Structure formats: C-alpha cells, structure tokens
C-alpha cells in the first residue's frame, strides 16, 4: 500500500497551498516536511530531490514531483477531478489559468513594499470586480449548473473557491454582487472533505504574517 504523499515546503501558503486544497478535497491525507532553515533547503538540493533546485516538491506514488502545475495535474488526474474528456480538460485549464492570475496577485501582496500596498490592493479590487469575477459568474449563468464544467466537481471549482476565500480576506464585500459565485463557494465548502479542511486545526495555512515572511526570506535568501 502506498504511503501518504509528503509535501516539502515552508510552513505557509505560497505555491503549495493549492496542492493542499486539491489533496484535501480529494480526501487524501498527506504529511508535510517543513523547510525550516536554509540548510534544509540545501539538503534537498544536494541529494537530488529538487529537479530544478526549487520547491514545492511532493513525494507521491514513488515519484518526487516538482513544478506546481505538474503536481496539480497529476493529483487532479489521479482523483478524477480533471474532466471526462479533452474538451472538459481544456475548459478546466482555461478557468484555472484565470484563477491563478488573480491568486498570484493576492498571494504576493505581503511581499509588496509598504508604499505600494494601497495601489496593489486597488488593482486587485479592480481586476476582481471588473475582469475575473464577472467572467466566472457568466460561465455559471450560461449553463445553470452547479459546477463550472460538466456539472461535476473539478479542480477548477476547488481552485476558484480557494481564490474566493483569499479575495474575502482582502475585502469581503467584493463577492456581494456575484450570487452564483457565492452559491458555488457555499456548495464546495459543504463538500465533506473540503469542510474538514476549512476547520480550525487543519493543514490549511493562514495568511502570511510578518514573522513568517521574515523566516521565508532567510530560508530562500530573498
């Protein structure tokens, strides 16, 4: 019997958080080996565990998978969260690329210099309400189904709902004018495996605070 996947990253959201969300939604228990010091990262590099000398890296099914998209694609395919055919997969890929655009902006907000933060938040709010949320609301309205693709839960729904939680941390009012997205958030959050992941004490990570940011800077030397 295969062991649990092992996630190698530091103890924060970053690029690993979508992987945590997807594994949790699939009902897959996983272990985490946190990178706590620069030496921990150097060891992974020196023993050949990191193909491109960077994390995230996930040990799963006898492989050491690097690169976030490759990891997510494998998990989604393995646990039937990637559509039933090539056309559905193309739609899922298109939607998650849009999700990633906005998610990256929000996840990088703590790294923004203080004097630029207000402008960055204003840009996030503008892109949220005038570009990304209207597009996803339109998709849900166009077919009247419960989920984005094929009326079945997919990685597109999981990644989008993860994003909705991030946006609410920036400004909870941004979701107010998008009833179908609000309904999707409620629906996906009620899936037992996701509901468990959203509970306090789970492996879901909080927003990056100054202490965690400083630690990450020391580990990754930026």
Asked whether residue 114 falls in the same domain as residue 186, the answer is yes
At 169 the pLDDT is 95
Dihedral-angle region of residue 199 (phi above 0 means left; psi in -120 to 50 means alpha; beta otherwise): beta
Asked if residue 1 belongs to a domain, the reply is no
169 lies in some domain: yes
Same domain, yes or no: 158 and 102 = yes
Q: Is 185 part of any domain?
A: yes
pLDDT of 216 over the 80 cut: no
Q: Residue 8: what pLDDT? A: 97
C-alpha 197/C-alpha 189 separation (Å) is 9
pLDDT of residue 219: 73
What is the model's pLDDT at position 215? 73
Residue 159 falls inside a structural domain: yes
Q: Are residues 182 and 116 in the same domain?
A: yes
In this predicted structure, what is the pLDDT of residue 1? 46
Most confident listed range (96-110, 180-194, 196-210): 180-194
pTM of the model: 0.94
CATH of the domain at 144: 1.20.1050.10
Domain with 158 in it: 86-190
- Tens-place pLDDT, residues 142-184: 999 999 999 999 999 999 999 999 999 999 999 999 999 999 9
Tell which residue, 205, 206, 209, 212, has the closest CA to residue 24: 205
Q: Are residues 31 and 115 in the same domain?
A: no
Residues in the chain: 222
**pLDDT for res 135:** 98
**Could you tell me if 35 and 123 lie in one domain?**
no
DSSP letter, residue 109: G
Q: Look at residue 211 and tell me whether its pLDDT is greater than 70.
A: yes
Total domain count for the chain? Answer: 2
> What's residue 110's pLDDT?
85
pLDDT digits (tens, 9 = 90+) for 36-71: 999 999 999 999 999 999 999 999 999 999 999 999
Q: Determine the Cα–Cα distance for residues 153 and 213; give it in Å rounded to an integer.
A: 34
In CATH, what number is assigned to the domain containing residue 16?
A: 3.40.30.10
pLDDT of residue 6: 98
- Indicate whether 20 and 115 sit together in one domain: no
Same domain (yes/no): 44, 129: no
Report yes or no: 174 and 133 within 8 Å, Cβ to Cβ: yes
Given a cut of 70, whether residue 2 has pLDDT beyond it is no
Residue 57: name the closest of 76, 44, 47 by CA. Answer: 44
At 93-126, the pLDDT tens digits run 999 999 999 999 998 888 888 899 999 999 999 9
Considering the domain architecture, whether residues 130 and 175 belong to the same structural domain is answered as yes
Q: How confident is the model at residue 222 (pLDDT cuts 50, 70, 90)?
A: low
> Same domain, yes or no, for 90 and 185?
yes
């Amino acid at each position: 019997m295969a062991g649990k996947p092992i996630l190698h990253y530091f103890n924060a959201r970053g690029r690993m958080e979508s992987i945590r969300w997807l594994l949790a939604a699939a009902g897959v228990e996983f272990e985490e080996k946190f990178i706590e010091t620069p030496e921990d990262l150097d060891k992974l590099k020196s023993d050949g565990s990191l193909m491109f000398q960077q994390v995230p890296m996930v040990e799963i099914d006898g492989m050491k998978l690097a690169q976030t998209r490759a990891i997510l694609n494998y998990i989604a395919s393995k646990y039937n969260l990637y559509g039933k055919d090539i056309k559905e997969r193309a739609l899922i890929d298109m939607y998650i690329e849009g999700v990633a655009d906005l998610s990256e902006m929000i996840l990088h907000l703590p790294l923004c210099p203080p004097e630029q933060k207000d402008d960055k938040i204003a840009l996030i709010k503008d892109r949220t309400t005038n570009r990304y949320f209207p597009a996803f609301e339109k998709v849900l309205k166009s077919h009247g189904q419960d989920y984005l693709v094929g009326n079945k839960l997919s990685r597109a729904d999981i990644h989008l709902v993860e994003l909705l939680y991030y946006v609410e941390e920036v400004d909870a009012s941004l979701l107010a004018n998008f009833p179908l997205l609000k309904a999707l958030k409620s629906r996906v959050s009620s899936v037992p495996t996701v509901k468990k992941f959203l509970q306090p004490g789970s492996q879901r990570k909080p927003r990056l605070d100054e202490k965690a940011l400083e630690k990450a800077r020391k580990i990754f030397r930026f």
